[in-house]
């Protein structure tokens, strides 16, 4: 039973490691550069079908084909902070023979990645702002309730005080009236 569990753990670990996508640190065309003069058929057989292929004739009726391959590689620490970048490799064939090659960063890919990062940052800012607004709304509602309660308490105390004052006033008037009445009654007798 323990042996089976060990095998399951080992196989699971290997599966996880194998499923991780690892990008190379340099282009396959710089590690194994194609030889100048190689035919286009040999080139495609060695490196596979290109992403893009352009064909044209020049003024001297020479036939040109340009093949473009795109690779994704890990950038270096200083320039790219180990970020994945796209490299386009171009190969120019004249009359079926390789005559030149060059590589360049795919700036559209880089811009797209930067836009995605910017969008994610904006999404996070919007979510943070939504949370802040909701917290502020809750605070305002709590403050409204507190103010409403204070007003109600104040109105209750205001309504109570005038009644008490009226009662005292009425009571003093009635006492004063009773005294006058008593005096008149006393005089009349």
pLDDT value at position 187?
A: 59
Whole-number Å distance between alpha carbons of 120 and 117: 5
Tell me the domain boundaries of the chain: 19-105, 107-158
Quick: pLDDT tens for 21-65. 566 667 788 888 899 999 999 999 999 999 999 999 999 999 999
- Domain 19-105: which CATH number of 3.30.420.40, 3.40.50.970, 3.40.50.300, 3.30.1450.10: 3.30.1450.10
Q: How far apart are the first and last CA of the chain?
A: 123
In this structure, what token pair is assigned to residue 102? 């060059």
Whether the CB-CB separation of 25 and 74 falls below 8 Å is answered with: yes
pLDDT value at position 78?
A: 47
pLDDT value at position 37?
A: 93
Average of per-residue pLDDT values in the chain? 78
Q: How would you class 145 by CB atoms within 10 Å of its CB: exposed for 0-12, middle for 13-18, buried for 19 or more?
A: exposed
What global pTM score does this model have? 0.47
Quick: pLDDT tens for 127-173. 999 999 999 999 999 999 999 999 888 888 776 555 445 455 555 55
E strands, the chain, in order: 52-57, 63-74, 84-94, 97-105
Position with higher pLDDT, 113 vs 137: 137
Whether the CB-CB separation of 47 and 34 falls below 8 Å is answered with: yes
């Amino acid at each position: 039973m323990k042996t089976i569990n060990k095998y399951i753990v080992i196989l699971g670990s290997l599966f996880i490691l194998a499923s991780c996508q690892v990008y190379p640190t340099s282009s396959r065309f710089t590690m194994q550069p194609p030889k100048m003069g190689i035919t286009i058929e040999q080139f495609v057989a060695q490196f596979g079908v290109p992403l893009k292929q352009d064909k044209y004739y020049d003024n001297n009726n020479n036939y040109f084909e340009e093949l473009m391959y795109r690779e994704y590689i890990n950038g270096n620490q200083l320039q790219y902070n180990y970020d994945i970048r796209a490299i386009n490799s171009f190969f120019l064939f004249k009359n079926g023979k390789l005559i030149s090659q060059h590589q360049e960063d795919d700036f559209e890919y880089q811009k797209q990645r930067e836009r995605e990062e910017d969008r994610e940052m904006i999404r996070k800012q919007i979510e943070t702002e939504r949370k802040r607004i909701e917290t502020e709304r809750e605070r305002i509602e709590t403050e409204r309730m507190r103010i409403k309660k204070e007003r109600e308490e104040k109105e209750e105390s205001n309504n109570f005080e005038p009644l008490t004052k009226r009662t005292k006033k009425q009571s003093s008037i009635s006492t004063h009236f009773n005294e006058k009445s008593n005096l008149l009654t006393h005089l009349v007798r």
